[in-house]
Amino acid sequence: MISTHFVPSVYSHQKKEGKVTWKAPSNIALVKYWGKKENQIPANPSISFTLDACATTTTVSYKKLENRSPEFSIDLFFEGKPKEDFRPKIESFFNRIEPYLPFLKEYIFIVETSNSFPHSSGIASSASGMAALALCLMSLEKELNPEMSSDFFNQKASFLARLGSGSACRSIEGDLIQWGEHKEIIGSSDLFAIKYPFKVHSVFKNYFDTILLVDKGQKQVSSSVGHNLMHNHPFSEKRFKQAHVNLKGLQSVFEKGDLDKFIEIVESEALTLHAMMMTSLPYFMLMKPNTLNIINKIWEFRKATNTHICFTLDAGANVHVLYPENEKDVVFQFIKDELVVYCEEQQYICDRIGFGAKQL
């Protein structure tokens, strides 16, 4: 199904060649997207903190061909070296977005990309990677249609990024980003992400995320396999409804700065994501013993200190430790003293809430 809103009519300008660079951040979901329908439509709405330090930088150089080519012409480089492994994913992305960017077969592209985080860190780069690439292609479209508004630019970038990797649509802007239709969130859409439209208390304006690298290997289950496991899952319908309820619950949490309720929803979402994987067929256990050791330590520390440290997880063993700025010294000391021992090679990444992608 084509979303006609994002199909351009005629371009007013021409562009022979050029080069553009975008740096797009990763994001961490608070209410998780897990399960999708056809065409990358999410089965439930989600919300995320945009990150700051974890990011992908992509440069796209483009040159107009004499004649439109029957195939895409793309040269791919990762961290300075040719990277043919990316080709299937990038070509399938180009195929999906071609109806919305009809010039893709009229140019030859060189795509050079690098991540701020180590390649083998177990941190997925698909969200930041697809967002950065979508933004570069939008910059070319803006050359062809300079009248485009910045709102449309961001919305279409999010729309395109979603077609590469669902969660990538939440990596265009910051700081709190919502994706997926929710009847009480005005402007929410399954097609692209929006900035959270309600009031957000200042405590959430500067939140920290220390990512503990428990397992730096390749993910055991790709997210597309994971999303598919939600079809015919015995608990999927209840889970999709729960995501709506949790998003609604977060509205007053964000407004009032209710950290206790925030912790309850965020940790429950993380554990539910993993519970869904444990109860699908086939079933998976993506936590490692050290994931559980860290969670238990966080719970003990929170109880003993009355701080507001909490955790969330993505579809893997690594732990995102979340905490507000006014507790950062005591919590970070605790992380260094007691949690880092559970990390593979004692590695972790210090990140915090960020404000979206930047053109360099």
Q: How far is the CB of 38 from ligand PMV (least distance, A)?
A: 14
Contact set for ligand PMV, span 194-253 (CB under 6 A): 223
For residues 10 to 49, the per-residue mask of contacts with ligand PMV, x marking binding by CB under 6 A and - elsewhere, is -------------------x--xxx-----------x---
Q: How far is the CB of 274 from ligand PMV (least distance, A)?
A: 10
Give the CB-side neighbour count of residue 292, counting CA atoms within 13 A.
Answer: 6
Q: Which residues of 286-309 are buried (b: 16+ CB within 10 A; e: fewer)?
A: bbbebbebbbebbeebbeeeebbb
Nearer to ligand PMV, 159 or 334 (CB): 159
As a whole number of angstroms, the distance between CA 3 and CA 133 comes to 20
Q: How far is the CB of 8 from ligand PMV (least distance, A)?
A: 26
289 Cβ contact list (under 8 Å, min separation 6)? none
Burial of residue 79 (CB within 10 Å: 0-12, 13-18, 19+) is: exposed
Does 309 bind ligand PMV (CB under 6 A)? Our answer is no
Q: How far is the CB of 24 from ligand PMV (least distance, A)?
A: 13
Nearer to ligand PMV, 46 or 290 (CB): 46
For residues 117 to 156, the per-residue mask of contacts with ligand PMV, x marking binding by CB under 6 A and - elsewhere, is ---------xx-----------------------------
As a whole number of angstroms, the distance between CA 296 and CA 130 comes to 34
Please name the residue ranges forming H helices in 218-336. 223-228, 236-256, 259-278, 289-305, 328-334
Task: Give Cα separations from 169 to 13, 18, 24, 152, 163 (angstroms).
Answer: 27, 25, 11, 14, 8
Among 56, 116, 125, 165, binds ligand PMV (CB under 6 A): 165
As a whole number of angstroms, the distance between CA 276 and CA 225 comes to 13
Does 167 bind ligand PMV (CB under 6 A)? Our answer is yes
Does 162 bind ligand PMV (CB under 6 A)? Our answer is no
Nearer to ligand PMV, 315 or 319 (CB): 315
Does 315 bind ligand PMV (CB under 6 A)? Our answer is yes
Does 166 bind ligand PMV (CB under 6 A)? Our answer is yes
As a whole number of angstroms, the distance between CA 350 and CA 315 comes to 19
Binding site for ligand PMV (CB under 6 A): 29, 32-34, 46, 126-127, 165-167, 223, 273, 314-315
